[in-house]
Amino acid sequence: MNFSFYIARRYLFSRKKTSLINLISAISVVGLVVGTMGLIIGLSGFNGFDSLIKSLFSTFDAELRITVKEGKSFSTAGASFEALKRMPGIAYYAEIVEDNALLLYNERSVFATLKGVSKEYLQFSGIDSMIVEGGFKLQDATNNYAVLGEGISYDLGVGVSQAEPISVFVPRKGRESALLPTGNFNQKLIYPSGIFSIQQELDTKYVIVPISFAREIFEMPDKVSAVELKLKEGTSEKEVKTALTSLLGNGFEIKNRYQQHDYLYKTMKSEKYATYLILILILVIASFNIVGSLTMLILDKKEDIAILQSMGADRNTIRNIFLFEGWLISFIGAILGTVAGLALCQAQISFGLVKLAGASSSFIIDAYPMKIVATDIILIIISVSAIGFLAAWYPVRFISGKIFGDENH
């Protein structure tokens, strides 16, 4: 066993002449344990919410969405899109007609985005699993039906059990009448069949309707707003995007699920790293206890230092004793904090100990979500170890230099 490490271990667990040194050492370990726990729990909480939001959006968003870079609509007639449908990595292909409309119901009005979908939409969307009232039904032999976001339903006061239809108004293209304002709008009626609840941004924005209804009211008989794709299992998303870009050219934009909500995901990632930096700063402040503990220990062991020097120990050997002392404090704090943090995270995942305030049976979850990510744990351990190293290095290099009479250290 390394001599310096052996002495450092004895110093760590032995009783000091001044009991305050033992107390400060214990406080140092506790501070690192709490700080490490905070980092693990905080980052795991962000990972949990990030994973939850991604899973919610994945029920609504396609794996790949094709839109035109300039303009709002495009035609899918032609050899390029026919070749796209036959690409080996594509499992399902759905055309989308989407635009804004005014909805009126019992003297209430709200602006919403109508998303006209083809019958293939349900093949890759999990929105039917997010229905909280009614069902996912868009057409029958006589009527068109709409599936509304929960926020839209609330603003309009719509219930699926009600028989009255919703009036949909859309400005007509290229026609304007000053004498008859209502003539400036296309108007159609549609019946509510279901209400979905996914995420507030989606629930207050979208109403899903048949693509034939959307084509008629938006006057887009031969164009679409987007094409959404589901890939076959095991297909590389990156390779398909590259192939689509080559096939369709630079006039089209191809986005995956992350890119469709890149602002939200970037904001969440920024918040996660900001939290990490704040907790690291708290950990740095807590590590000052290590500086105080080692400083007092070096002063307390002046006699031992003199004895070791007389026995032939050089300055580096003695300095390493106190460096190892600081590293042991950091290591013990990091390991105990990591174990405790992981245990609490796993308990939250398994038993949902901390509940969401005001959560009810209509909520998707009733407890704070947690997700443990190995790379975060490694980053935390490295960060705590680095802080511990620096906190030990300062008093050893400077205080011990004064004791040895080496003014230049």
Query: CA 224 from chain center: how many Å?
Result: 31
Extract the tokens encoding 40. Answer: 């693990």
Q: Among residues 322, 287, 327, which one has the least CA distance to residue 395?
A: 322
Output phi, psi for 263, to 5 deg.
-65, -45
Residue 15: per-residue pLDDT? 67
Bridge partner list, 375: none
Cα–Cα distance measured from residue 208 to residue 214, given in angstroms and rounded to the nearest whole number: 9
Extract the tokens encoding 282. Answer: 């708290």
Bridge partner list, 100: 113
pTM: 0.79
Q: Among residues 383, 379, 377, 375, which one has the least CA distance to residue 283?
A: 383
Extract the tokens encoding 343. Answer: 């245990």
Cβ atoms 236, 63 nearer than 8 A: no
Extract the tokens encoding 95. Answer: 């055309």
Bridge partner list, 102: 111, 169
Cβ atoms 196, 62 nearer than 8 A: no
Residue 180: per-residue pLDDT? 47
Cβ atoms 209, 144 nearer than 8 A: yes
CB count within 10 Å of CB 275 equals 16
Query: CA 277 from chain center: how many Å?
Result: 17
Stated length of the chain = 409
What is the signed CA dihedral for 57, 62, 64, 67, rounded to 10 degrees? -100
Query: What residues have CB less than 8 Å from 304, skipping those under 6 apart?
Result: none
Cα–Cα distance measured from residue 139 to residue 216, given in angstroms and rounded to the nearest whole number: 15
Cβ atoms 123, 92 nearer than 8 A: yes
Residue 206: per-residue pLDDT? 97
3-state secondary structure of 60: coil
Residue with tokens 């220990």: 297
Contacts 24+ apart (CB under 8 A), 14-19: 16/297, 16/300, 17/300, 18/296, 18/300
Residue 409: per-residue pLDDT? 47
Extract the tokens encoding 211. Answer: 């693509």
CB count within 10 Å of CB 119 equals 11
Please give the DSSP secondary-structure letter assigned to residue 280: H
Extract the tokens encoding 146. Answer: 């709409």
Residue 241: per-residue pLDDT? 94
CB count within 10 Å of CB 210 equals 20
* DSSP one-letter string for 92-133: EEEEEEEEEEEEEETTEEEEEEEEEE-TTHHHH--GGGGEEE
Cβ atoms 96, 227 nearer than 8 A: yes
Per residue of the chain (409 residues), give pLDDT as tens.
Answer: 588 888 888 777 776 656 677 787 888 889 999 999 999 999 999 999 999 888 888 888 999 999 999 999 999 998 999 999 999 999 999 999 999 999 999 989 999 999 999 888 888 888 888 999 999 999 999 999 999 999 999 999 998 887 789 999 999 886 665 544 566 889 999 999 999 998 888 999 999 999 999 999 999 999 999 999 999 999 999 999 999 999 999 999 999 999 998 888 899 889 999 999 999 998 988 888 888 888 888 878 778 888 888 888 888 888 888 888 888 888 899 999 999 999 999 999 999 999 887 655 456 678 899 999 999 999 999 999 889 888 888 777 776 566 555 544 4
Tell me which H or E stretch contains 153: helix 150-156
Please give the DSSP secondary-structure letter assigned to residue 255: E
Do strands 185-196 and 145-149 pair parallel, antiparallel, or not at all (unpaired)?
A: parallel
Question: What are the C-alpha distances in Å from 246 to residues 69, 165, 253?
Answer: 15, 45, 12
